């Protein structure tokens, strides 16, 4: 059976073949140990392009979705990014390799604490994990040049998040009904449809 590092290398080759071309994103995907961000019972499936359950009714997105969403942000190396929906912390870890710092928010306390511990153990010290309603953003750290939402917003982009963007910032967020919808990118006053996607619903207080 291939080693985790071999599985990561194969995943990166697959992602590149599937149209992921941002070198920083590919390097991040090749660096972050995805198997450490899923339950031990499914660690052998960590590098398959399928979502995996991480508890609390939540999932870790497929590698392609993580890479595609991160690349769609166009985040710069000196930027601070906001992520809504920490989950296991994997997406934040990948994003943290592409920018200066990440603020990530998770509404489920047990997932937030698990992600906080895991990220600290693995040395991702430029990630701040918060517990709370991510749809409200992090106004104390705004404005953000990049905001990534990893749960399905109902009907429209969350207004509080759009208000926390810099004038030239980018918000990437799935919008739809239930768990099915479209990944949207909001930038410069314009909204662009990127891909059909499936995510767990974004829950707000």
pLDDT (mean) for 23-27: 98
% of the chain beyond a pLDDT of 70:
100
User: Structural domains in the chain?
Assistant: 4-198 (3.40.50.150)
The structure's pTM equals 0.96
pLDDT score of 156: 87
Whose CA is closest to 90, among 42, 132, 138, 136?
A: 42
Catalogue the active-site residues: 61
pLDDT score of 184: 98
pLDDT (mean) for 41-53: 95
pLDDT score of 43: 95
Round to whole Å and give the CA distance between 63 and 43: 14
C-alpha dihedral, 65 to 153 to 180 to 95, nearest 10°: 10
pLDDT score of 203: 84
């Amino acid at each position: 059976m291939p080693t985790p590092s071999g599985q990561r290398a194969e995943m990166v080759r697959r992602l590149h073949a599937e149209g992921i071309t941002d070198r920083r994103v590919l390097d991040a995907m090749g660096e972050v140990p995805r198997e450490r961000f899923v339950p031990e019972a499914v660690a052998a499936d960590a590098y398959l392009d399928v979502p995996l359950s991480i508890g609390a009714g939540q999932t870790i997105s497929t590698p392609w979705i993580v890479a595609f969403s991160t690349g769609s942000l166009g985040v710069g190396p000196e930027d601070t990014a906001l992520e809504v929906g920490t989950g296991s912390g994997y997406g934040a870890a990948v994003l943290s390799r592409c920018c200066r710092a990440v603020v990530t928010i998770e509404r489920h306390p047990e997932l937030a604490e698990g992600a906080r511990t895991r990220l600290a153990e693995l040395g991702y010290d430029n990630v701040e994990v918060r517990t709370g309603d991510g749809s409200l953003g992090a106004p104390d750290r705004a404005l953000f040049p990049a905001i990534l939402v990893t749960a399905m917003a109902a009907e429209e982009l969350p207004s509080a998040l759009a208000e926390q963007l810099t004038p030239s910032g980018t918000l990437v967020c799935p919008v739809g009904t239930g768990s099915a919808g479209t990944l949207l990118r909001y930038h410069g006053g314009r909204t662009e449809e990127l891909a059909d996607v499936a995510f767990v619903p974004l829950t707000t207080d």
